[in-house]
Amino acid sequence: MGPGAVARRLLAIQAQDPRGARLAVRARLADGAEAPRASAVDEALDRGELVVGWLNRGTLHLVLADDYRWLAALTGPRLVTSNRTRLKQEGVSPDQAEKAVSMIRRRLADGPATRAEIRDLLESAGIPVAGQALVHILYLASLRGHVVRGPMIGRDQAFVLTDDWLGAPRPFDPDAALAELARRYLVGHGPATDRDLAKWAGLTLGQARRGLREIASELRETGEMVDIAEKGEVERDAPVRLLGPFDPILHGWESREWIVPGERERGVVTTNGLFRPTIFDGRRVVGTWRLAGGEMSLDPFADLPAEVDAALAGEAEAVRAYLAG
């Protein structure tokens, strides 16, 4: 089981923090997986198996290349207005935005380019790139279907033309896409409610319910929740893990109270909306952690059982090895 299999099961992995996305993959690799390492994600990006783009709730997500186009077509339209608003707030006029997208497309026709290379190109043409302006220009190019984040160049993920990297688009069927969204979401996150699906995907409740109706024959009810029937009963216990920032377990449902009660008071979510790396004891989040300068520090909310402490010692070494690989 490798990065592609994890992406297939989760459908979309939040990826605005590159290390967090790689740790999300690691946490879901089968125990005993041969020599897991973060560079395996980079290799999957380089060969075009995985890509990163603005999807779902408007944040960057790591997905299978085969899933990118239909997810973008399904979730992108609701993001257009907010992108336009942010460009205006960042001082980018509509004409400048159009010019920037055209320049990016011409540059990428010659091959991949990093964010820094694109910034220099636009800045030389007098287009605002300070603050979040560049991000939202690239976001616009992505929403238009022109660009996607593909291969790695050194430590940076490069932008490429979507058609060059993924091939020509296939016809888009909204109902089929909603059905696939509902099915794949439940495979990775069920049991869940229609509101959980809508929150995770950034769609309306009506769209979420439509998707679930499309696959009604595949579902079983679990109280107020539904799940894919063939999965059987879900076992909630899992291995002790050190989860990265923005881990999917914190974003898959409408409420996080079942996994981390009092998230803000405990410092899991900062006042500016950042999600810190967390300690997971197999059932819930029980603390936070950080890795800086090669030194790892654990900050549990309370004293942990001896068996969890012992497992965390091994986890800490495994995380260091994974990130170094």
Tens digit of pLDDT at every position of the chain (325 positions): 799 999 999 999 999 999 999 999 999 986 655 557 999 999 999 999 999 999 999 999 999 999 999 999 999 999 999 999 999 999 999 999 999 999 999 999 999 999 999 999 999 999 999 999 999 999 999 999 999 999 999 999 999 999 999 999 999 999 999 999 999 999 999 999 999 999 999 999 999 999 999 999 999 998 889 999 988 665 666 889 999 999 999 999 999 988 888 766 678 988 788 899 999 999 999 999 999 888 899 999 999 999 999 999 999 999 999 998 7
Domain 77-170 and domain 174-231, same fold? Reply is yes
Question: CA 65, CA 45: separation in Å to the nearest integer?
Answer: 9
CA angle 262, 263, 268 (to 5 degrees): 150
pLDDT at 202 (0 to 100) = 96
The Cα 260–Cα 267 span in angstroms is 10
Distances (CA, A) of 154 to 43, 108, 139: 12, 18, 22
| Residue-level length of the chain | 325
Residue 81: both structure tokens together: 């207005």
- For 67, other C-beta atoms within 10 Å of its C-beta total 20
Dihedral of the alpha carbons of 253, 256, 260, 263, in degrees to the nearest 10? 140
Among 1.10.357.10, 1.10.730.10, 1.10.10.10, 1.10.3720.10, name the CATH number for the domain at 77-170.
1.10.10.10
The answer to whether the beta carbons of residues 319 and 23 sit under 8 Å apart is yes
Instruction: Locate the domains of the chain by residue range.
Output: 77-170, 174-231, 241-324
Q: In angstroms, rounded to a whole number, what is the distance separating the alpha carbons of residues 109 and 201?
A: 31
Where helices occur in the chain by DSSP H, the ranges are 3-10, 18-27, 39-46, 65-75, 80-89, 94-108, 115-124, 133-143, 162-166, 174-189, 194-201, 205-214, 306-324
Q: pLDDT at position 262, please? A: 78
Please give the full DSSP string across 107-173, using - where no structure is assigned: HHTTS-B-HHHHHHHHHHTT---TTTHHHHHHHHHHHTTSEEEEEEETTEEEEEEHHHHH-SPPP--
pLDDT at 305: 95
Counting beta carbons within 10 angstroms of the beta carbon of residue 306, is it exposed (0 to 12), middle (13 to 18) or buried (19 or more)?
exposed
Q: Sign of the C-alpha dihedral, residues 150, 151, 153, 155?
A: positive
Give ∠ CA 148-152-157 in degrees, rounded to 5.
50
Residue type, 141: A
Note the pLDDT of residue 281. 93
Kindly report the number of other CB atoms within 10 A of residue 226's CB atom.
23
Q: Provide the pLDDT for residue 34.
A: 54
Instruction: Report pTM.
Output: 0.94
* DSSP annotation of 267: T
CATH for the 174-231 domain, from 1.10.1740.10, 1.20.140.150, 1.10.10.10, 3.20.20.150 = 1.10.10.10
Residue 295 is predicted with a pLDDT of: 86
Asked if 150 and 51 touch (Cβ cutoff 8 Å), the reply is yes
